Structure 1
Amino acid sequence: MLELNFVGYEAISAKRQDEPGFSLRIELVDGTSVHVGYYPEANVLSPGAHGTEELKELVTSERQRIKDIVEGRVR
């Protein structure tokens, strides 16, 4: 399980500035899920947490895999 420290909205907002983010759905151990904003360049989650390098690699590699499939580069 990934543990993330709470940072706060002001620090997150300043770090990500105008970076476009996307919605990330996180499924929890109990089967529930939560949607959060994720900004990969700044590696932050909204509301108020910095991502780990492991999280960033996981999200960016999965997004690239999906993009490759959609664009027909992977069969």
Structure 2
Amino acid sequence: MHVIHFIDTLLAAGRAPPRLHELDEAQRGRAYTRYMRERHPQSFAHDTVEIAGAGHDADAMFGSPAGLAELFGKT
């Protein structure tokens, strides 16, 4: 989450690489996840869950049914 926020900050300041300007926030998150999986194929064990409409709202992310299931176990 912090990396995506950092990228958004660079974009807002006009300092991000040109290719990042073409991606929306969700696409940048997916690209970062792909990058981490490729860079650390043996140790990257994180799940990726997209919560529609949550944006940077932590309550919406972690309080959603999918967020709660990831944090406390799937039911």
Q: TM-score, normalised by structure 2?
A: 0.32
Q: Which has the higher helix share?
A: 2
Q: Which has the higher strand share?
A: 1
Q: TM-score, normalised by structure 1?
A: 0.32
Structure of greater relative contact order (alpha carbons < 8 Å, 6+ residues apart): 1
